[in-house]
């Protein structure tokens, strides 16, 4: 008897690379510019036009984008940045890179996004000299935060708004594309391979503010400019440049930008397929002792992630047991995220368990199921069957 072939693993996310994507990269490799060439401004313009923003600044990754966005906003020692504890550490680390202080705002238990009610209470209870300079709402799993309400609070309390939209390229809020910066000063995207579109590694900062744009352009490239408008020495010659700020080498390459431009051509297709897969999951999981992701009618999610919450009062097994059982079945589920304030580094800063209970309870129950463009319907059946077996008392 032939041994039955082992089933392949199903990752929680992965990129889709077409022949056209490969050719776009090959074309750059055979061109005169591998970096700092024409592919970068082309990609920037395509994304700015898509989102309806005035400016886009390509960077090496979204963490770099968050960092220089904070710097462009003037964040520094003595300032404060508030963000969500339900995010990757980069959303708060960017403030620490600038020497600023960090604090968190608990999440809404239904959307898993920054709670506007918690933000309003925290602002009201905070002394004027301790208010944040920047608030970073995180569009978790691809769904926009309540940006109208956050923008209203920003006007009342005088903070800048920087959207962490690492999960959200291709999504919309109240009919406008996320990244339009209609309700914020800047928006930051990620193009990591598990995101909706990829450049391998890479990110983009969007803004409608020309002053911020000029700062972002310089900060991503050592703080250097050749633009005569900003030079102290106007007649230095074509070789001449000046360093105006302490910047970084956060540039994207033309190789990455070419891949991003090619992927942009399928962005709406990628998001539409994710919506199909989410609808299938919603149907397949109906009736199971899990909470499904809530989608607010004001938001058209990019659906970067599909996160369920186990109902511990209805399941005899722990989240760890369910997680391990699904991994053993070849379903590479994940958890997004361990609350940032519980990380050892942040506990050393004075944070601890118990401070943001909604984010902590969410974390204890959350499991991220596979979701990506190439996921087949029959693979979804396999994911759900594995979940049913994992939450069974006899598993």
Distance between CA 158 and CA 148 in Å, rounded?
15
H or E stretch covering 217 = helix 210-219
Q: Which residue out of 195, 234, 316, 388 is catalytically annotated?
A: 195
| Sign, Cα dihedral of 41, 43, 46, 50 | negative
What is the phi/psi pair of residue 242, to 5°?
Answer: -135, 140
CA angle, 251 then 53 then 155, to 5°: 105
Q: Is 190 helix (H, G, I), strand (E, B) or coil?
A: strand
CB 302 within 8 A of CB 149: no
Q: Active site includes 195? A: yes
In angstroms, the CA 369 to CA 291 distance is: 13
Going 163 to 168 to 169 to 173, the CA torsion angle's sign is: negative
What strand order describes the sheet that includes 176-177?
Answer: 176-177, 172-173, 299-300
Say if residues 180 and 147 touch (Cβ distance below 8 Å). Answer: no
- Taking CA atoms, 145 is separated from 73, 139, 150, 162, 251, in Å, by 21, 6, 8, 12, 29
CA 135, CA 33: separation in Å to the nearest integer? 38
**Using omega within 30 degrees of 0 as the cis cutoff, is the peptide bond preceding 27 cis?**
no
Contact 336, 113 (CB under 8 A): no
Catalytic machinery residues:
195
């Amino acid at each position: 008897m032939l041994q039955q072939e082992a089933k392949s693993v199903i990752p929680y996310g992965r990129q889709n690379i077409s022949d056209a994507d490969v050719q776009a990269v090959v074309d750059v490799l055979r061109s005169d510019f591998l970096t700092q060439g024409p592919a970068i401004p082309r990609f920037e313009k395509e994304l700015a036009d898509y989102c309806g923003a005035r400016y886009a600044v390509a960077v090496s990754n979204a963490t770099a984008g968050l960092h220089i966005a904070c710097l462009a906003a003037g964040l520094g020692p003595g300032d404060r940045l508030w963000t969500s504890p339900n995010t990757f550490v980069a959303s708060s680390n960017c403030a620490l890179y600038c020497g600023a202080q960090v604090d968190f705002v608990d999440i809404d238990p239904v959307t898993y996004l920054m709670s506007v009610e918690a933000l309003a209470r925290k602002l009201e209870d905070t002394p004027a000299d301790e208010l944040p300079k920047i608030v970073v709402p995180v569009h978790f799993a691809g769904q926009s935060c309540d940006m109208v309400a956050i923008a209203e609070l920003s006007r009342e309390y005088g903070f800048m708004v920087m959207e962490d939209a690492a999960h959200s390229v291709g999504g919309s809020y109240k009919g406008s594309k996320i990244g339009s910066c209609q309700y914020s000063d800047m928006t930051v995207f990620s193009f990591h391979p598990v995101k909706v579109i990829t450049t391998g590694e890479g990110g983009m900062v969007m803004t409608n503010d020309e002053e911020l744009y000029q700062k972002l352009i310089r900060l991503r490239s050592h703080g250097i400019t050749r633009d005569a408008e900003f030079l102290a020495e106007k007649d230095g010659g074509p070789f001449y440049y000046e360093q105006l700020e302490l910047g970084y080498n956060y540039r994207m390459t033309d190789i990455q930008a070419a891949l991003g431009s090619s992927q942009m051509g399928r962005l709406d297709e990628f998001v539409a397929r994710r919506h199909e897969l989410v609808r299938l999951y919603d149907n397949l999981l109906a009736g199971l002792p899990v909470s499904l992701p809530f989608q607010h009618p004001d938001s058209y999610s990019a659906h970067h992630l599909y996160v369920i919450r186990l109902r511990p009062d209805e399941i005899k097994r722990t989240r760890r047991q369910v997680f391990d059982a699904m991994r053993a079945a070849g379903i590479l589920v994940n958890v997004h995220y361990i609350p940032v304030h519980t990380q050892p580094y942040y506990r050393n800063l004075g944070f601890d368990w118990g401070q943001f209970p909604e984010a902590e309870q969410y974390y204890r129950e959350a499991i991220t199921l596979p979701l990506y463009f190439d996921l087949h319907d029959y693979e979804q059946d396999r994911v759900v069957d594995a979940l049913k077996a994992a939450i069974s008392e006899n598993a």
